[in-house]
Amino acid sequence: MRQTFDETTDPSFGPRHVPLIRAAMAEQGLDGFLVPHEDEHQNEYLPEANDRLAWATGFTGSAGAAVIFQDQAAVFVDGRYALQVKNQVDLSLFEIRDLMEGGVTEYLETEAARGQAIGYDPRLHSPDALARLRAAAEAAGAELKPVSDNPLDLAWGGARPSQPAAPVAPHPLEYSGEESAAKRARVGETIAQKAAEAAILTAPASLAWRFNIRGGDVRCTPLPLGQAILHKDGRADLFLDPAKVTEELPAWLGNQVRLQRPDDLPGALAALKGKRVLVDPAQSSAWYFEALAAAGVEVVKAEDPCALPRACKNAVEVEGSRRAHIRDGAALSRFLHWLATEGQTNPPDEMEAVAKLEGFRESTGALKDLSLDTIAGAASNGAMMHYRPTEKLNKRVRAGQLLLVDSGGQYLDGTTDVTRTVAIGEPSAEMRQRFTLVLKGNLALAAVRFPAGTTGSALDALARAPLWSYGLDYDHGTGHGVGSYLGVHEGPQRISKVPNTVALRPGMIVSNEPGYYKEGDYGIRIENLQVATEAAPISGGERPMMGFETLTMAPIDRRLIDRDLLTPAERAQLDGYHAEVLAKVGPLVEPQVAAWLKDACAPI
């Protein structure tokens, strides 16, 4: 499968490109420039043409930022990428800063000089984030200055890839479970409840869900890039590049949806003059707010009206996810069998492992794309939480080491994301202890019953408690939402230390992925996807309860489990899970894999 910006693992990337950016900045009278990871659509995975942070710095993580002054520069990453960024960025050119602790705002407050003009592209920043950045610059006596021509884009010039124009195709009812017209009516009611007459959609996932369409503009996610104006009566204007519009699309959308060109968007926004229009400040850039304000529109700041209904999967989508995970589990079991046999006597390197796993997924005949760039971290590379193997960093796993593999597939009926950690040779006692602590957290989060109205933040500690009891922890969230043949990372729900106000609801799919990372040595993560369900009442209980159904179907390496650290209830839970894996996946794999799977799923 495709990888983006392979050459950015070369630290010379920054020295080649930063001087070009600084020259373009100077022509515009700028002393500094803000480079967010986000693009015009606030995507996590970016088209190559929009991966500006990677082109400027060499850093390829899915979250980050940079600030480039004429005489200094900094890259900002969170804990997931603390090790990766050091391998990808020229440390003599860029200072590495923490994205979460202090972040860009603190850097501007301390490093910007009085009288400096710091440029920003209003298409790439949300208004809330921009307000914080502006306040920080003003505290230092500097000024944020919007630019109509992004100096980074000018520096990139003719070498910049073209914008994607993949065909937009219908997503049939057998997978979506609800007609687009019904969705339009539901969303229209939400718009009216906010006392608005229309809403602006800029999130590609919302376009895909709302109109029952899928595209291919973004790697690892079947998204069409575009925008839409939704009216409270169910009508809509959909702005797509004509090159993406397939012959069947107009009829599929129906006569209540008017197709327009992206160049028509400014005029359409101006035509909303005098109306109340809903816009999500977390999803839409400052450019939209500025354009609407200039047109005399009264802006209603509120969450994207498609976000919550998109997250609550209907019965058809949940059943599709079950099928996708069983199919994907068969592919993953073939891979794990290969690691348990040939991989033990002839251990692979990371790139070989990635190719092998992707080959098994492709052999299903149903794979549309990966859902994420496959992470295969051998030994110390596994300690980099969101590491991605490249030719330069590629490492061969050896006896006595661990291989962490985080991967997933995009299928018409569902999106998968699963992590398994496998021992090559004999693992150490410490590895087995830490793995079992991670497993205990995973089991606790899978088994919990909780009152309706509970948020993921309230559940996060369950997955961490076994590690905490040994003075250990991990620096990433425990669970993210997952789409239905959409993004592998989807809000608004999550399971994390970070406070979240969105209660878990039936049909929400979330990951369950505690981990442990020993820098310079190994990494451990166990990840299953699970769907929130209404739970049977508890005898004597007084509250409606909820729980989770595990969707991922793949064995967990028994050689890494310290049985004595598991309680009898945990052993029974693990045995029950493995019995389900064997029953559902066993019939789909070859006899030799089925025989291995029977042993891999044997009672602990």
Average pLDDT of the chain to the nearest whole number? 95
3-state secondary structure of 173: helix
CATH H-level, domain 6-159: superfamily: Creatinase/prolidase N-terminal domain (3.40.350.10)
Tell me: pLDDT of 5 over 70: no
Per DSSP, what are the bridge partners of residue 237?
229, 258
Q: Token pair of 444, please?
A: 């606790």
pLDDT value at position 8? Answer: 41
C-alpha–C-alpha distance, residues 176 and 178, integer Å: 6
Query: Topology of 312-600 in CATH?
Result: Creatine Amidinohydrolase (3.90.230)
pLDDT tens per residue across span 406-416 = 999 999 999 99
Instruction: Please state whether beta strands 509-512 and 528-534 pair in parallel, antiparallel, or not at all (unpaired).
Output: antiparallel
For residue 236, give the H/E element and its range: strand 236-239
Band (10; pLDDT cuts 50, 70, 90): low
Taking residues 177-198, what's their average pLDDT? 96
pTM for this model (two decimals): 0.91
CB under 8 Å to 243, separation ≥6 — which residues? 165
What is the predicted pLDDT for the residue at 11? 58
482-499 residue pLDDT tens: 999 999 999 999 999 999
How large is the average pLDDT for residues 454-477?
Answer: 97
Residues 6+ apart with CB under 8 A from 120: 33, 34, 130, 133, 144, 145, 146, 147
Domain locations in the chain as residue ranges: 6-159, 169-310, 312-600
Which pLDDT belongs to residue 542? 92
* pLDDT for 393: 83
Judged against a pLDDT cut of 70, whether residue 181 lies above it is answered with yes
Residue 1: predicted pLDDT = 36
Please, which residues have CB within 8 angstroms of residue 527's CB and are 6 or more apart in sequence?
A: 406, 417, 418, 419, 420, 511, 512, 513, 552
Residue range 215-244: mean pLDDT, rounded: 96
Contact yes or no for 75/47 (Cβ under 8 A) = no
The confidence score (pLDDT) of residue 159 equals 92
Q: What is the distance between the alpha carbons of residues 229 and 238, in angstroms, rounded to a whole number?
A: 7
Pick the CATH number of 169-310 from 3.90.380.10, 3.40.350.10, 1.10.3720.10, 3.40.50.300: 3.40.350.10
Instruction: Give the lowest-confidence range in 84-93, 229-238, 292-301.
Output: 84-93
Q: Tell me: the pLDDT tens digits for 121-139?
A: 999 999 988 999 999 999 9
Topology alike, domains 169-310 and 312-600? no
Distance separating alpha carbons of residues 96 and 73, to the nearest angstrom: 9
**Rounded-to-integer distance, Cα 224 and Cα 215, Å:** 4
The sign of the CA dihedral 210, 211, 213, 215 is negative
**Residue 350 dihedral angles phi and psi, to the nearest 5°:** -65, -45
φ, ψ of residue 509 to 5 degrees: the values are -100, 130
Write out pLDDT tens, residues 73-93. 999 998 778 878 888 899 999
Mean pLDDT of 242-246: 96
Residue 3 has pLDDT above 70, yes or no: no
